[in-house]
A and B are shown apart, each in its own frame.
Chain A
């Protein structure tokens, strides 16, 4: 079983719809990232969360540490939101070097297509 699971794998929505992408993880974490990868391949950081909720424009990200679950919501979706959305967790663990750990484990991504 993967340590980070995203659902759904693929999502097609009509323009204007409210979208939710889910991320569940099975390891201890100190933070969770949501990333966006457009068809050209570039990756952009959307949010980093360690608790609660963050909002940026039409994007909202929430995390429930007790339930080991995070959601990314897109309100009033638009075709330019079409991309792959990737969840990544910063694992808590023993560092090899003593300088702190920043081991990232990624979900396999959710491919979103928003149709006009």
Chain B
């Protein structure tokens, strides 16, 4: 089954404690991206990657890092989380040569205390 898998789905952490949210897709997609969703602000793009070892900033990259060492994985790293990073995070992927349909993960709800 074609899917994008995020882990963890729920996490409560404390300020400053490094964490990684993983994202994996099994569709051999070139494009992968991270978004955060906040009430009143909607979805905003954090980082995206067009292929292995190629990453670019979205609209809200501050406080986040990403890497794309393998085509299937695109982890989101919060080196020193702060309360303003409390949010619902989504990962998505797309095959650039196909219909361009975006496939989303189920979301990861992160709370930083």
Partner of A103, one of B48, B51, B54, B106: B48
Say whether B44 faces chain A, with CB atoms less than 8 Å apart: yes
Binding site for A on B (CB under 8 A): 31, 33, 35, 40-45, 48, 50-51, 54-59, 88, 90, 92, 96, 99-104, 106-107
Q: Given A88-B43, A104-B58, A108-B42, are A48 and B104 neighbors across the interface (CB < 8 Å)?
A: no
Size of chain A's interface in residues, with CB distance under 8 A?
25
Q: Given A48-B101, A100-B50, are A95 and B106 neighbors across the interface (CB < 8 Å)?
A: no
Main secondary structure of the interface of B (DSSP, over half): strand
Query: Is the pair A96, B57 in contact by a Cβ cutoff of 8 Å?
Result: yes
Q: List A residues 1-54 near B (Cβ within 8 Å).
A: 31, 33, 35, 41-45, 48
Q: What is the total of A-B residue contacts with beta carbons within 8 Å? A: 67
A105 to B57, CA, bound (A): 13
Most buried by A among B31, B43, B55, B101: B43
Query: Is the pair A35, B102 in contact by a Cβ cutoff of 8 Å?
Result: yes
Q: Name the A residues within 8 Å of B57 (CB-CB).
A: 96
What is the minimal beta-carbon distance from B55 to any residue of chain A, in angstroms? Answer: 7
Given contact pairs A33-B100, A48-B99, A102-B56, a sample of 13 additional A-B residue pairs in the complex whose CB atoms are under 8 Å apart: A48-B102, A88-B43, A96-B57, A97-B50, A97-B55, A99-B50, A100-B96, A103-B58, A104-B33, A105-B59, A106-B44, A108-B41, A109-B42
